[in-house]
Amino acid sequence: MIAAETTKSESSWSWKQAIAARIWRYSQLFIVLLFVATLLTGFAWEYWVWDILANLRVQQIVVAVVLAIVCGFYRRWIWLGICVACMMIHLPWFLPNGHHTAGSFDYQIATFTVCNVNSANHHFDAAISDILLDEPDVFVVLEITSQWAEQIEAATADAYPHKIVRPQDQGNFGIGLYSRHPIVTSDVFRLNVDIDSIEAIVQIDNKKYRVIGTHPLPPIRASGFHDRNQHLQLLAEHLRQPNESFAGHPTIVMGDLNITPWSPIFHDFVSRSGLQSSHRTVGQPLGGSTTPTWYVVPTFMMGLSLDHILHSDDLDCLTRRVGGPIGSDHRSVTVTVGGLVEESVEEIDELH
């Protein structure tokens, strides 16, 4: 009887050992894959797959944390060190940039919203309600079709009488800009491909803003990757070298840029354009929001921050909100920015 119980106990222990050994083997495999993926993010400029890995830094950090816990449980310290090294490579992309210009002078507030409604989405009321939730001064709608344009017009004609709309029924690159305030001047321009972007000077109270809405191609395969990167490079040049009608004003750029803030290509665009990304808002933990704006399925781990509002150095991003489900695969982004009014700018110049 005792022998039978001993044999049963040994069998149970052997089974547990086999499960534990298998878990560790799979963990080792995932650590190796994580390490390789982390290294390849440094070559994001070279190949579209490596760029996708760079855009998945949040997910890689989560995986690294889980694997580090497993390593600690198994007391595998060298493997734990590899996990920590991967985290240390990714974490600097989330550190604050320290940008803040607010002072004791007069400060003007303005709110902007961007939303990719998805041309195949017919949840008009949900999307429009979400866009208008914060009563933005200006909003940009992407993937706008003729039907979407009609629905938005019906809901916003009185509150947003100023608009520039370029719907597209065959494709996903229609765009519209709507404003509560007068549009002083505007232009519809194209960069490297036949996709419309909108540029406008909007007069909000006593301050003029240069507002741009844009939507580059997604980096799917090598061709889309090249076109998106070229779009961002040309947009950066366009921002730094505006014609006389658009020069000298605080700037807001809104769009589904098909890239996250964690890609070195996005970092290069920010550096070249002279803009600041609104995901680094005042008071955000680690200096930046990681809330996804695009979901392949509605879970955090399967989402990416693809929709952006960027601003020039003479503005502060005070608040940032990512909207809720609207039937689209994207969520809206709304920011409130603050900037010194003209009189305060002159006062600061006199002090210097």
Where do the H-state alpha helices sit in 200-308?
221-240, 264-273
* Res 284: pLDDT: 56
Category of 286 on φ-ψ map: left (φ > 0), alpha (ψ -120 to 50) or beta = left
CA 198, CA 185: separation in Å to the nearest integer? Answer: 11
Asked if residue 278 lies in contact with residue 320, where contact means CB atoms within 8 angstroms, the answer is yes
Asked if residue 84 lies in contact with residue 297, where contact means CB atoms within 8 angstroms, the answer is no
* Res 348: pLDDT: 39
CA 37, CA 89: separation in Å to the nearest integer? Answer: 11
Category of 327 on φ-ψ map: left (φ > 0), alpha (ψ -120 to 50) or beta = left
Q: pLDDT tens string for the chain (352 positions)?
A: 555 555 555 555 577 788 888 999 999 999 999 999 999 999 999 999 999 999 999 999 999 999 999 999 999 999 999 999 999 999 998 876 655 544 445 678 999 999 999 999 999 999 999 999 999 999 999 999 999 999 999 999 999 999 999 999 998 999 999 999 999 999 999 999 899 999 999 999 889 999 999 999 999 889 999 999 999 999 999 999 888 888 889 999 999 999 999 999 999 999 999 999 988 765 555 445 788 999 877 777 778 999 999 999 999 899 999 999 999 999 999 999 998 765 544 443 443 4
Reference 195, options 154, 145, 231; nearest CA is 231
Asked if residue 217 lies in contact with residue 258, where contact means CB atoms within 8 angstroms, the answer is yes
- Residue 324 burial by Cβ neighbours in a 10 Å radius (0-12, 13-18, 19+): exposed
Asked if residue 228 lies in contact with residue 217, where contact means CB atoms within 8 angstroms, the answer is yes
* Res 290: pLDDT: 82
CA 240, CA 257: separation in Å to the nearest integer? Answer: 18
Tabulate helix, strand, coil % of the chain (nearest 5): 45, 25, 30
* Res 347: pLDDT: 46
- Evaluated on CA atoms 253, 255, 261, 263, the torsion sign reads negative
330 DSSP assignment: B
φ and ψ at residue 48, rounded to 5 degrees: -65, -30
CA 320, CA 291: separation in Å to the nearest integer? Answer: 11
CA 140, CA 164: separation in Å to the nearest integer? Answer: 10
φ and ψ at residue 100, rounded to 5 degrees: -165, 125
Question: Cα torsion for 114, 232, 228, 330, to the nearest 10°?
Answer: -10
Q: Which two tokens stand for residue 250?
A: 């605080």
Place of tokens 């680094």: 280
Place of tokens 């809901």: 155
φ and ψ at residue 307, rounded to 5 degrees: -100, 130
Q: Which two tokens stand for residue 311?
A: 């601003």
